[in-house]
């Protein structure tokens, strides 16, 4: 159940977000999934990037877009991990 896998963090807990083409190291205390970046658009001076994690959609808001910066390309297979600090 993916909801139980994600519901491992506390409000105001410091975490580190990793988006990578390579599978990062992680533990059972972290959330890690893989999928594809499929959308990016500038809205209200912020970039909205969407990553499909096979049913779960992760929305990333940033000052500089992931695709715009050239870090990743549309439809790249990526790993998204949230690690406890």
From the list 74, 80, 79, the residue with the least C-alpha distance to 38 is 74
> Does the pLDDT at position 59 exceed 70?
yes
* Three-class SS state of 2: helix
Residue 51 pLDDT: 97
Residue 1 pLDDT: 59
Output the pTM of the full model. 0.85
Q: pLDDT tens digits for 1-56?
A: 566 767 778 889 899 999 999 999 999 888 999 999 999 999 999 999 999 998 88
Residue 14 pLDDT: 92
């Amino acid at each position: 159940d993916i909801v139980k896998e994600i519901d491992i963090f506390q409000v105001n807990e410091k975490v580190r977000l990793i988006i990578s083409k390579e599978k990062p190291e992680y533990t059972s205390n972290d959330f890690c999934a893989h999928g594809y970046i499929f959308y990016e658009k500038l809205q209200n001076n912020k970039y909205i990037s969407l990553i499909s994690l096979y049913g779960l959609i992760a929305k990333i808001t940033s000052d500089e877009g992931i695709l715009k910066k050239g870090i990743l390309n549309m439809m790249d297979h990526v790993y998204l991990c949230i690690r406890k600090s």
